[in-house]
C-alpha cells in the first residue's frame, strides 16, 4: 500500500463504520495517476438518501491534504444534472475516473454507471441569439486587446489570457463539447494520454488545436488574432459594420 493510500485509509476509518455512510470513491489526480507533490487527495463519501445534510471539508493526514465531499445519492445525481445544464461534466467525470474504496449497497457502482452515461449525453445546441452575442464578444475582446497592444499597456497580458480563455470556452459551447480545464489547457491540447485518463473529448477542429497551442506556447497578438478569426469564421462569420441584434424585451 502506498503512503497516500495509508493516509486515505486512516481518514476513512472515521467514516466507514457510520450507518449513514454507504460508500466511498477516491478520484482526481491520485486516481488518474497524475498526482504531483502539490496534489491533494479527492474523496467522495456517499451517504444514504435518508440523511438531510451534506458536508465538504479538508483534513491533513500524514502530510497529505484530503479534500472530501459527503453527499447522499440524490444530491450527487443533482450535481450531475446541474453540471450538464451549464455545459460541463465535472462531478460525473470525478466518478468515472474514480476508484471505489468500498460500496456497501452497490450505490457507488450505480452512480458510476450514471456518470458514464452522462459523459455521452450531447449538450444542447446554442440558440442563434447566443451565437451572435458570442461572436460579438470575441470581436470586442480582440479589439480591446489590439488597443492595449498598441499602447503597450501592462494589462495586455491579462487581457490576452482572458481572450484566450473566452475563445476556447465560447467555441466549446458552440461545438457542444465541454470546456477543458484552464489550469491544464496546453496539456489538454497536446497530450492524448492525459485526455484519455480524464475521459475528455478533444475539439473536432485540427486547425483550431494547432492555433490554440501556438497561442499558449508563444503569446503574441498575431496568434490570438488568427485564432479568434478562425473561430468567428467557423461560427458563421462576423462583420462589425452593420452588426445588430434585435430581441424581445426581458421584462
Cα separation, 182 vs 34, whole angstroms: 16
Cα separation, 30 vs 67, whole angstroms: 12
For 44-78, give one letter per residue: b (16+ CB within 10 A) or e: bbbbbeebeeeeeeeeebeebebebbbbbbebbbe
Predicted pLDDT of residue 174? 97
Q: 28: burial class by Cβ within 10 Å (0-12, 13-18, 19+)?
A: buried
Predicted pLDDT of residue 51? 97
Predicted pLDDT of residue 1? 82
Every domain of the chain and the residues it spans: 3-120, 128-234
Residues 6+ positions from 208 with CB-CB distance below 8 Å: 171, 227, 230, 231, 234
Predicted pLDDT of residue 148? 96
Contact status, residue 216 vs residue 224, Cβ threshold 8 Å:
no
Contact status, residue 96 vs residue 199, Cβ threshold 8 Å:
yes
Within the chain, which residues score under 70 in pLDDT? none
Predicted pLDDT of residue 215? 97
Predicted pLDDT of residue 250? 87
Contact status, residue 190 vs residue 213, Cβ threshold 8 Å:
yes
Contact status, residue 66 vs residue 58, Cβ threshold 8 Å:
yes
Residue 205: how many CB atoms within 10 A of its CB? Answer: 15
Architecture per CATH, 3-120: 2-Layer Sandwich (3.30)
Question: Which helix (H) or strand (E) is 47 found in, with range?
Answer: strand 41-47
Amino acid at each position: 500500500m502506498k503512503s497516500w493510500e495509508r493516509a486515505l485509509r486512516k481518514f476513512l476509518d472515521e467514516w466507514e463504520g457510520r450507518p449513514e455512510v454507504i460508500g466511498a470513491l477516491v478520484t482526481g489526480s491520485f486516481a488518474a495517476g497524475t498526482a504531483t507533490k502539490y496534489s491533494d487527495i479527492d474523496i467522495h463519501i456517499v451517504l444514504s438518501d435518508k440523511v438531510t445534510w451534506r458536508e465538504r471539508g479538508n483534513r491533513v493526514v500524514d502530510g497529505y491534504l484530503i479534500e472530501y465531499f459527503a453527499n447522499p445519492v440524490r444530491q450527487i445525481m443533482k450535481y450531475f444534472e446541474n453540471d450538464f445544464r451549464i455545459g460541463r461534466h465535472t462531478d460525473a467525470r470525478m466518478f468515472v475516473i474514480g476508484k471505489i474504496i468500498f460500496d456497501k449497497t452497490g450505490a457507488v457502482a450505480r452512480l458510476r454507471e450514471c456518470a458514464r452515461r452522462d459523459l455521452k449525453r450531447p449538450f444542447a445546441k446554442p440558440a442563434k441569439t447566443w451565437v451572435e452575442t458570442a461572436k460579438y464578444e470575441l470581436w470586442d475582446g480582440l479589439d480591446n486587446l489590439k488597443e492595449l497592444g498598441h499602447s503597450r499597456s501592462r494589462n495586455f497580458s491579462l487581457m490576452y489570457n482572458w481572450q484566450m480563455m473566452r475563445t476556447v470556452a465560447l467555441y466549446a459551447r458552440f461545438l457542444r463539447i465541454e470546456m477543458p480545464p484552464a489550469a491544464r489547457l496546453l496539456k489538454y491540447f497536446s497530450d492524448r494520454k492525459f485526455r484519455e485518463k480524464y475521459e475528455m473529448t478533444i475539439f473536432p477542429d485540427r486547425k483550431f488545436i494547432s492555433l490554440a497551442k501556438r497561442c499558449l506556447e508563444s503569446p503574441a497578438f498575431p496568434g490570438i488574432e488568427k485564432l479568434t478569426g478562425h473561430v468567428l469564421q467557423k461560427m458563421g462569420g462576423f462583420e462589425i459594420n452593420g452588426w445588430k441584434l434585435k430581441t424581445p424585451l426581458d421584462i
